[in-house]
Amino acid sequence: MLSAKKSGWMMARAAVFAGAAIAAITSFVPMAAAVPSRIKDMVTVEGVRDNQLVGYGLVVGLNGTGDKLKRGGFTSQSLQSMLNRLGVKPTEKGIDSKNVAAVMVTASLPAFSRQGTPLDISVSSLGDATSLLGGTLLVTPLLGADGEVYAVAQGQVTVAGFSAKGTAESVVKGVPTTGKIANGAIIEREVGYEMANRDTVKLNLRNPDFTTARRIAQAINAFLDDGVAMPSDPTTVHLNVPSRYDGNVVNLITDVEQLLVEADQPARVLIDETSGIIVMGENVRVSTVAIAQGNLTITITETPQVSQPNAFSERGQTVVVPRTDVSVDEDQQRRLAVVKSGVTLQELVNGLNALGIGPRDLIAILQAIKAAGALQADIEVM
């Protein structure tokens, strides 16, 4: 029989070993799996889409910041044509105002929009107007791609930017030649699309991928207990409407879009050389490679000095004596860094950051690693 002292010592020792074992196990826990997303956030239903509308109109009531009508052009012609339709027939010499601007009006017509529903619109100057602040858009038909009028816009333009100018200085904030009108258009024509009685529905992936399309089809078939879903390509999943959903496709889509699916993505590195932005996916891997980075910097500094003769000197002259200092930095402290094979994204970032380089040098290194065949990912330059 063990003594109480020895028994307590053995229990404490066992607790230490257990704690060490737990620490060793948790230190090797793999990275958490990707969080699944709803099918609703991954696909769009074919036919359920917006339609772009565009129109040409006039904004009036500007405080001298409109188009210059003396030059003629489309603004002057549009104003004269509008006044003629209203029963006013001014001469060309009588149209002289800086309070009118020609604009393009754009809007997006949502799917299944009904007549009388208001729309938000955007207004952008087309001529040489300097600001649309305080202007009012006159009745403007908005046309679709087929040339038909789907909405009519009118209202007070809201401008976020402004401009102010003085004799020697000017200030501009934002873009004063563009604006918006909340609920500034009213839908006059609907886009016909019947969905309730369809036999098939096509789900289009926002990020095309073979694996993701297959997983979506498998999740739908498991939920409906029927092989009604089948991917035809990395973008499209065909869904045959089951008999219990006949005449009620909305219920089918509502049930399907709530299913959770883990999206897959290819290993890809996105590079924007203009702004120095680098985005790497979590599946990016690198084979074992050694990297060294360094720049040769030559600095030339000119500090000329002025040499003057002594006071009351009759023969002395004031001359400029050049002084040049040349220094060369070869970055000799930069050494090779080894990036091991199969590292994770975090380890890759830590290894590249250890070199002490900026984003633009990192872009060149990633392209060099890709050229060496050690980067197991695609590089896409934006």
CA 369 to chain CA centroid, Å, is 27
Amino acid present at 257: E
pLDDT one digit per residue (tens) for the chain, 382 residues: 444 444 444 444 443 333 333 333 333 334 445 678 999 999 999 988 899 999 999 999 998 888 888 766 788 888 888 888 888 887 766 677 889 999 999 999 998 899 999 999 999 999 889 899 999 999 999 999 999 999 999 999 999 877 777 666 777 778 899 999 999 999 999 988 888 888 999 999 999 999 999 999 999 999 998 889 999 999 999 999 998 898 889 999 999 999 999 988 888 888 887 777 888 777 777 777 776 666 545 555 667 777 777 766 666 677 777 776 766 555 555 555 555 666 665 676 666 677 666 777 777 778 887 888 877 788 888 7
The CB density around residue 240, as the number of other CB atoms within 10 Å, is 15
Residue 365 to residue 349: CA distance in whole angstroms: 12
User: Domain range spanning residue 352?
Assistant: 268-305+320-381
Residue 38 resides in a domain: no
- Residues whose CB falls within 8 Å of the CB of residue 308, separated by 6 or more in sequence, listed in order: 316, 318
Residue 45 resides in a domain: no
**Which of 153, 187, 221 is the last residue in one of the domains?**
187
* 238, 297: one domain: no
Residue 249 resides in a domain: yes
Nearest of 175, 188, 51 to residue 107 by alpha carbon = 51
* 87, 173: one domain: yes
Nearest of 126, 135, 124, 130 to residue 59 by alpha carbon = 135
Summarize pLDDT for 93-143 with one digit per residue, the tens.
667 788 999 999 999 999 889 999 999 999 999 988 989 999 999 999 999
Count: domains in the chain: 3
Beta strands at 378-381 and 268-272: parallel, antiparallel or unpaired = parallel
* 140, 113: one domain: yes
- Please name the residue that has the structure tokens 């230490």: 16
Residue 315 resides in a domain: no
**The tokens of 146 are what?**
């087929």
Residue 40 to residue 203: CA distance in whole angstroms: 10
* 252, 272: one domain: no
Q: What is the pLDDT of residue 10?
A: 42
Residue 24 resides in a domain: no
Residue 355 to residue 367: CA distance in whole angstroms: 16
* 212, 155: one domain: no
Q: Are 75 and 102 in contact (CB under 8 A)?
A: yes
* 173, 150: one domain: yes
* 237, 277: one domain: no
- Kindly list the distances between the CA atom of residue 116 and the CA atoms of 68, 138, 148, 183, 190, in Å, as whole numbers in the listed order: 36, 18, 17, 11, 10
* 227, 324: one domain: no
- Please name the residue that has the structure tokens 């104003």: 79
Residue 7 resides in a domain: no
* 276, 377: one domain: yes
Q: What is the pLDDT of residue 338?
A: 59
**The tokens of 30 are what?**
């793999």
In the sheet that 200-205 helps form, which strands lie side by side, from edge to edge? 43-45, 200-205, 236-240, 229-231
* 182, 59: one domain: yes
Residue 241 to residue 239: CA distance in whole angstroms: 6
* 171, 84: one domain: yes
* 173, 254: one domain: no
Residue 6 resides in a domain: no
Summarize pLDDT for 202-251 with one digit per residue, the tens.
999 999 999 999 999 999 999 998 889 999 999 999 999 998 898 889 99
Residue 133 resides in a domain: yes
**The tokens of 9 are what?**
């010592």
Amino acid present at 169: E
Contacts 24+ apart (CB under 8 A), 350-357: 352/291, 355/291, 355/293, 357/293
